[in-house]
Structure 1
Amino acid sequence: MRLEDIKNVYFVGIGGIGMSAIARWFNKRGAKVGGYDRVETNLTTRLSLEGMWIHYEDSRKDIPKHFLNREDTLVIYTPAIPEKHGELKFFRNKKFDVRKRAEVLGIISMDHFTIAIGGTHGKTTTSSMVAHMLQYHEKKCSAFIGGIMSNYETNLLIGDKDAPVVVEADEFDRSFHWLMPNYTVVTSVDPDHLDIYGDEMEMRKAFGQFLQQSGEEGKTLVHYKAAEKVNTHLEHLYYTYGMEGGDIRAHALRAVNGIFIFNYHGSRTIKDINLLVPGFHNVENALAAITVAIDMGMDSESIKEAMKSYRGVKRRFEYIIKSEKFIFIDDYAHHPEEIRAFLRSVKALFPKKKLTAVFQPHLFSRTRDFQAGFADSLMLADELILLDIYPAREEPIPGVTSENIFNKVFIQNKHLIKKDELMDTLKSLDVELLVTIGAGDIDKEVPRIKEYYEYKLKREA
């Protein structure tokens, strides 16, 4: 496939965060871009305003004629789209060039020095940190990120022709096996997507293969806990990092006015790095990103300046309201270990405040596989509001509900409710530190929650 020959690109599932970055890339190159998605969102609206054609009905009759020219149209789909999807079946039956998102990302990155960041959690933040720091490098970078970077209000950066490419490597559906990076980072290898892998050992093998794809000449950097799980699958030299173990560590960590300050110790020492995005897990993500920046030739002062200006990714430890009387944080966490790391960090930053957590489980299969882990991590909260499962791409699984988690949470203050009951429930409670957690559509409740508490704070002032 010659990218320069492509005139039209049609996306089946254009509103996905990874799909939208590639759509933007083709759009900026001058191709006509369009696609389907199930529902209209803020992101699809943004894509439309950028000149892309998008519709929300699975109907090939609605598709403009230029996307139906087989000779110069590329069709890209996400594995989250079911195989029975009408438009996807149509394009395949008509022998269009139909490719997975990850395959196209691999082709785009093939002619560039590529830095790939994978992991069951931490990859979006680490990828965005690497991309942001490389913007301070003379070559800058191109970047395909699985979240909206707050510094740039986009999930795509485009650098010079010879700039390195930063990609987020997704383990779902073994997508990361399409990449052949020069530099590979793995932030975590915890059990997930067992509907794809079957068991944890098979998932570990997949991560081991991903790490080997850098080859003998490439460099690999692995969180020390992840390394313990994949080292039997590794053939080449790799380096490790972490708060409590690894070749590269953070020393003298302290929290000052909600900002984490630490010293980096690796191939060099960099003192008093300021990280405005809080969280112990984000300090570890920063260790990985700083290591990449050093290996890419950045000097210590540029690294410190870049890290101090890094503002994070939307829905990753995102402060919605922060005042003396009330704090509201939204986070994308949807795996037990992510939730544990997030809540631990929140409690460390605000140890004297009562923590109320709203959690929306994501996927029936994930709830089934990790219900005990979810319950255990959610018990870090002082009060829990648990919503129904967000199904995403899945059909319901008999006997799997949020109640499976709820019954294993042994704290006094807990509530199991429907999502449309959330605002009434919050209004009935005395809340001072509120967090919303989940990868479903809980983010749609954030503006309503914000509006209510801003009005409440103003009235009480």
Structure 2
Amino acid sequence: MKATDFHTTARLPFGELGAVHFIGLGGAGMSAIARILLARGVPVSGSDARDSAVLRQLEALGATVFVGHEAGHVGGADTVVVSTAIRPENPELQAAVAAGLNIVHRSVALSAAMEGKRLIAVGGTHGKTTTTAMATVMLQAAGREPSFAIGGDVAALGVNAAHGEGDLFVAEADESDASFLNYRPQVIVVTNVEADHLDHYGSAEAVYASFDQFVALLPSDGTLVLCLDDDGARALAERVAASGAPCRVLGYGYAADAALRIVESEFAGSGSASRIEYRGGNCTLRLQVPGEHNIRNAAAAVAVAITQGIDPATAAEGLAGFTGAARRFEAKGAAAGVRVFDDYAHHPTEVHAALTAARKVAAGHAVHVLFQPHLFSRTREFAAEFAQALQLADSAAILDIYPAREDPIPGVTSELITSRLPSGSYAPDPARAVADIVARSQPGDIVLTVGAGDVTQYGPVLVEALERASTAVQ
């Protein structure tokens, strides 16, 4: 049996979890759930292929952690938690099957951890992590003490998950394998809807249908918050209206018919100031993170505030201190007058947004990107779109594809992108790519490492290389 066989496992009540073992504990999603279960007094163990700071943090909280996967690690567990990254041959998964243990997808475990709370589920093809983080920071500032689970660390929160004293739970709802259908939300946020994860869904229509099913989980007194600037989200709103679903719909965005409308925005450095209107009133939304996409993400958080009876101006004030989520245009350092950022973008729309933000931050200087495609299937489906998005950079070096959970697909390489990109080059040697970027960078330029794989490791490498080059010139 493989991990995907447990995606639609029946819900498991919190009281029936028993001792819980995580296969792949060091991952962002898995570690978030483990933190919450530990805070709720659940015995937790887990393993990961390599040691990490995350494992040591969980160990300090009381978890039993293992480096490497062995069948004996599941001994003493009642429930074993898996994700789509876990392969059928994993010895711990095989041991759990043989022992007849509860084996659940991470979304089922998170649903159990949410028990007793009112769920605000943040979904969408892009922007989920940042929007979830913004909503959480805003609710904390408003004194609501929410529980939360986010797919990345957030500086303003210190961690990616926590069990709060309030009655709300804010969670990033992952659509990649349709596991967001295991939740029971009171409020759903949909930032956008596009075709992605076609290795799982097979077609764009199946992606759209999964969002229809997601929204159908709302109770009659629930609220759907969505971005009317996005064609996919707008189409979803229209389908909800046509279905006669009784849930409330609250649209946000720059669109003229948005109930919470972003009227105008001004950009300065890495931040912005926007005027937003709701029911005849208005307030200013000031952000320290760049890009129009982040203004929309923040507007979604303000919309969440409205669903909880919080004044928009209070919500906007709470967002003023938000400094971003890990790997979302995250500053890695600067040297020789060149600033280096890292971004998790791995879909063409996300790459376009990251580079658009970079161009504003660069303020007339050049933008250089080191991009690593994520998944063979995604590269095959969107090579032309990636090439178009990457044209926003002054130079683009494209690393080999990060395979993640996939096996290679014949004929699918990074050259599917570079062959369509006049300003880009295929870079099978990362060290050479770093050296080339350093050589072409000038004071004031921006360097951006982009992708969902291990390209993030090259941010600090670029900063060090820029420092060495600057010292050599002196």
Deviation, 1:5, is 5.6
Deviation, 1:331, is 0.6
Which runs of no fewer than 5 residues in structure 2 stay unpaired? Answer: 1-11
What is the aligned counterpart of 1:254 among 260, 266, 285?
Answer: 266
User: Which position in structure 2 is the counterpart of 1:167?
Assistant: 171
The secondary structure found in structure 1 opposite 2:79 is strand
What is the aligned counterpart of 1:436 among 440, 443, 449?
Answer: 449
What is the aligned counterpart of 1:178 among 155, 172, 182?
Answer: 182
User: Which position in structure 2 is the counterpart of 1:123?
Assistant: 128
The amino acid that maps onto 2:37 is F
Deviates further, 242-251 or 393-402: 242-251
Deviation, 1:80, is 1.8
Separation (CA, whole Å) in 2 of partners of 1:449 and 1:194:
33
Match status 1:54 vs 2:65: yes
Q: Is residue 263–residue 269 contact of structure 1 (8 Å, CA) maintained in 2?
A: no
Deviation, 1:217, is 1.4
Output the TM-score relative to the length of structure 1: 0.92
Separation (CA, whole Å) in 2 of partners of 1:427 and 1:350:
16
Deviates further, 233-242 or 384-393: 233-242
Deviates further, 314-323 or 368-377: 314-323
Deviation, 1:6, is 4.5
Q: Is residue 336–residue 466 contact of structure 2 (8 Å, CA) maintained in 1?
A: no
1:16-415 equivalent positions in 2, closer than 5 A = 16-61=27-72, 63=73, 67-69=74-76, 73-160=78-165, 162-224=166-228, 225=230, 226-231=232-237, 233-234=239-240, 235=243, 236=245, 237-244=248-255, 246-247=257-258, 248-267=260-279, 269-321=281-333, 325-411=337-423, 414-415=425-426
The amino acid that maps onto 1:79 is T
Deviation, 1:458, is 6.6
Deviation, 1:337, is 0.2
Deviates further, 370-379 or 426-435: 426-435
Separation (CA, whole Å) in 2 of partners of 1:175 and 1:310:
28
Q: Is residue 139–residue 305 contact of structure 2 (8 Å, CA) maintained in 1?
A: yes
Aligned length: 453
Taking only aligned residues, the RMSD between alpha carbons, in angstroms, comes to: 2.1
Deviation, 1:398, is 0.8
Separation (CA, whole Å) in 2 of partners of 1:146 and 1:243:
27
Separation (CA, whole Å) in 2 of partners of 1:348 and 1:117:
27
Which runs of no fewer than 5 residues in structure 1 stay unpaired? Answer: none
The secondary structure found in structure 2 opposite 1:148 is coil
Separation (CA, whole Å) in 2 of partners of 1:362 and 1:436:
13
Output the TM-score relative to the length of structure 2: 0.90
Alignment CA distance shift 1:406-1:436 (3 Å): same
The secondary structure found in structure 2 opposite 1:135 is helix
Q: Is residue 435–residue 465 contact of structure 2 (8 Å, CA) maintained in 1?
A: no
The percentage of aligned residue pairs carrying the same residue is 33
The amino acid that maps onto 2:236 is V
Q: Is residue 338–residue 441 contact of structure 2 (8 Å, CA) maintained in 1?
A: no
Separation (CA, whole Å) in 2 of partners of 1:102 and 1:254:
39
Separation (CA, whole Å) in 2 of partners of 1:24 and 1:168:
15
Deviation, 1:410, is 2.2
The amino acid that maps onto 1:114 is L
Separation (CA, whole Å) in 1 of partners of 2:449 and 2:27:
21
Deviation, 1:294, is 2.2
User: Which position in structure 1 is the counterpart of 2:4?
Assistant: none
User: Which position in structure 2 is the counterpart of 1:10?
Assistant: 21
The secondary structure found in structure 1 opposite 2:141 is coil
Separation (CA, whole Å) in 1 of partners of 2:202 and 2:133:
30
User: Which position in structure 2 is the counterpart of 1:447?
Assistant: 460
1:390-448 CA-partner distances (Å, limit 9, x unpaired): 1111111111110111101122x535333343333334333422111000011122222
Q: Is residue 143–residue 166 contact of structure 1 (8 Å, CA) maintained in 2?
A: yes
Deviates further, 231-240 or 275-284: 231-240
Separation (CA, whole Å) in 1 of partners of 2:348 and 2:256:
21
The secondary structure found in structure 2 opposite 1:115 is strand
The secondary structure found in structure 2 opposite 1:265 is strand
Alignment CA distance shift 1:315-1:269 (3 Å): farther
Deviation, 1:374, is 0.6
Deviation, 1:29, is 2.6
Deviation, 1:179, is 0.8
Q: Is residue 265–residue 272 contact of structure 2 (8 Å, CA) maintained in 1?
A: yes
Q: Is residue 392–residue 440 contact of structure 1 (8 Å, CA) maintained in 2?
A: yes
